[in-house]
Amino acid sequence: MALDNPFLTQGYAGKEYFCNRQKETQKILTTLENGRNLTLISLRRMGKTGLIHHSFKEMKVDCVYVDILHTTNLKEFTLIFGKAIINQLETPLGKSWNQVLNIFKKIQPSIKIDPLTGQPAFDLSISNEKEAEDTLEDIFNYLTKRKKKTVIAIDEFQQISYYPEKKTEALLRSYIQNLHNVRFIFAGSIKHILTAMFSDASRPFYQSTQFLFLESIEKNEYTEFIKSHFNKSKKKIEENILGEIVEWAHLHTFYVQLFCHKVFSKTDKNVDEKLLAEVKSEIFEENEPYYISYKNLLSTQQWNLLRAIAKEGSVSKINQKKFLNTYQLSASSVQRSIKALEEREMVALEGNSYRVYDVFLGRWLAENY
Ligand SMILES: Nc1ncnc2c1ncn2[C@@H]1O[C@H](COP(=O)(O)OP(=O)(O)OP(=O)(O)O)[C@@H](O)[C@H]1O
Ligand SMILES: [Mg+2]
């Protein structure tokens, strides 16, 4: 089914709506096929989750996707992980019901109707930590016995480092390394946590995976993709306009998609400068209340630094006199503020330059302050 608007701002709807990422997809496939697990890292909203679903389409094995962003402890992990595995590898109809009952020694799975799809789905409930550990063991035993090749992607994997159960990493690592038919993708956006987890010699997952750092989509690839979708719908868009869109959105996937989504929905024929200006002010208007609330969340020094970075677009030498003087910042406060801004994910480090993490907030700050 063709979508009314080809520029997705969430989810994955198939190859047609997904720009490029051929090299990255290939890398994922060969890494997993050769028996290694993979760690996928990028800035937020760069396209990790989309890429996982895209590469699943190319795999000839069973695939499971699980997002653990909202888990805060081992029990919640086990529930979400267990449900994802059972529901994506078994169907609640027919003979697999008995097989599923046999997987779990301590808990009793049930079936409920998924309110979103209206379809029956397996449900689990766990009452305490001991039960969680036993259930996790049952799930890994099930995976071990299942002979079929399987890929499991755990998205937002950095979450496990916040669990109060500090043994989680070691526990998962020991189960995972004993699975011969299952490969894993660990994805996330908090780079320092994930790189430490997989490259610090004292940590359980040390050097156990291949890293893939996902960067922006190449400019020409993206503009060609955008142009082809406009042209398919008989809408005309010139090269300079295409260039302006991807530049303004800093080639950051989600922001390019949202910008194009809005432009596409606002015209039946040509895209011109006037329309771009209209979309930009609409974006600002929609988000202004959030942007203004950031001002209250940050200290004056942090806000001033954020504004200065926004005005510059990107800053490689944050302590350079010229930058400090232009924006009347002091070297010591900049040192402190940049750490806080990084922790709050208000700025992102791209290569060795800082920029405002939320691209549209950066544009708004540059224009309004
Ligand atoms: N290659 C692509 N072509 C077109 N759209 C894409 C592509 N990759 C991702 N998108 C779209 O960009 C948006 C952000 O992508 P996605 O959610 O995959 O990013 P993410 O890195 O997982 O983000 P987060 O860190 O917030 O989880 C989504 O709307 C998605 O549909
Ligand atoms: Mg994601």
Q: Is the CB of 7 under 6 A from ligand 1?
A: no
List, for residues 205-225, the tens digit of each pLDDT value. 999 999 999 999 999 999 999
Identify the structural domains of the chain with CATH numbers, from first to last. 21-213 (3.40.50.300), 219-368 (1.10.10.10)
**Do the strands 120-123 and 37-41 form a parallel or antiparallel pair, or are they unpaired?**
unpaired
Q: How confident is the model at residue 53 (pLDDT cuts 50, 70, 90)?
A: very high
Q: Is the CB of 253 under 6 A from ligand 1?
A: yes
91: left (phi over 0), alpha (psi -120 to 50) or beta: beta
pLDDT at 213: 96
* Cα separation values, 116 from 37, 119, 120, 121, 360, Å: 32, 8, 11, 11, 32
- Higher pLDDT residue, 190 or 250? 250
Least confident of 6-10, 281-285, 365-369: 365-369
Pull the structure tokens for residue 102: 């046999």
Q: Is the CB of 9 under 6 A from ligand 1?
A: yes
Q: Is the CB of 42 under 6 A from ligand 1?
A: yes
> Looking at the predicted structure, is the pLDDT value of residue 95 above 70?
no
Pull the structure tokens for residue 112: 């409920």
**Cα 36 from Cα 30, distance rounded (Å):** 9
**Cα 78 from Cα 128, distance rounded (Å):** 11
pLDDT at 101: 84
| Closest ligand 1 atom to Cα of 17 | 4
| Closest ligand 1 atom to Cα of 156 | 27
Q: How confident is the model at residue 191 (pLDDT cuts 50, 70, 90)?
A: confident
Q: Is the CB of 48 under 6 A from ligand 1?
A: yes
Q: How confident is the model at residue 114 (pLDDT cuts 50, 70, 90)?
A: confident
**Cα 318 from Cα 322, distance rounded (Å):** 10
pLDDT at 102: 87
Helix, strand and coil in the chain, % to nearest 5 = 55, 15, 35
DSSP string, 120-167: EEEE----SHHHHHHHHHHHHHHHHH--S-EEEEEETGGGGGGSS-TT
- Testing ligand 1's pocket by substitution, the residue of 212, 213, 257 carrying the most ligand atoms inside 8 A of its CB is 257
The 10 Å Cβ neighbour count of residue 185 is: 26
Q: Is the CB of 8 under 6 A from ligand 1?
A: yes
For residue 41, give the nearest of 183, 188, 197, 154 by alpha carbon.
188
Q: What are the start-end ranges of the E strands in 32-106?
A: 37-41, 62-67
Pull the structure tokens for residue 123: 């449900």
Residues 107-120 have a mean pLDDT of: 85
> Looking at the predicted structure, is the pLDDT value of residue 257 above 80?
yes
Rounded to two decimals, the pTM is 0.94
| Closest ligand 1 atom to Cα of 9 | 29
Q: How confident is the model at residue 314 (pLDDT cuts 50, 70, 90)?
A: very high
Q: Is the CB of 189 under 6 A from ligand 1?
A: yes
**Cα 14 from Cα 257, distance rounded (Å):** 15
Q: How confident is the model at residue 94 (pLDDT cuts 50, 70, 90)?
A: low
List, for residues 176-190, the tens digit of each pLDDT value. 999 999 999 999 998
pLDDT at 185: 98
Q: Is the CB of 363 under 6 A from ligand 1?
A: no
Q: Which DSSP symbol is given to 94? A: T
List, for residues 155-174, the tens digit of each pLDDT value. 999 999 999 999 999 999 99
**Cα 124 from Cα 153, distance rounded (Å):** 20
Least confident of 110-119, 202-211, 273-282: 110-119
- Testing ligand 1's pocket by substitution, the residue of 159, 214, 254, 260 carrying the most ligand atoms inside 8 A of its CB is 254
Residues 42-60 have a mean pLDDT of: 97
> Looking at the predicted structure, is the pLDDT value of residue 130 above 70?
yes
* Cα separation values, 170 from 75, 167, 175, Å: 16, 5, 9
**Cα 246 from Cα 260, distance rounded (Å):** 9
Nearest CA to ligand 1 atom 28: 10
Task: State what percent of residues in the chain have pLDDT above 90.
Answer: 85
Q: Which ligand is nearest to the CA of 261?
A: 1
Summary mean pLDDT of the chain: 94
Q: Where are the alpha helices (DSSP H) in 298-330?
A: 300-312, 321-326
- Residue 11 DSSP SS3: coil
Q: How confident is the model at residue 242 (pLDDT cuts 50, 70, 90)?
A: very high
Q: How confident is the model at residue 99 (pLDDT cuts 50, 70, 90)?
A: confident
> Looking at the predicted structure, is the pLDDT value of residue 15 above 80?
yes
> Looking at the predicted structure, is the pLDDT value of residue 1 above 70?
no
Q: How confident is the model at residue 298 (pLDDT cuts 50, 70, 90)?
A: very high
Q: How confident is the model at residue 65 (pLDDT cuts 50, 70, 90)?
A: very high
- Dihedral angle over CA of 10, 13, 18, 21, nearest 10: 90
**Cα 101 from Cα 108, distance rounded (Å):** 7
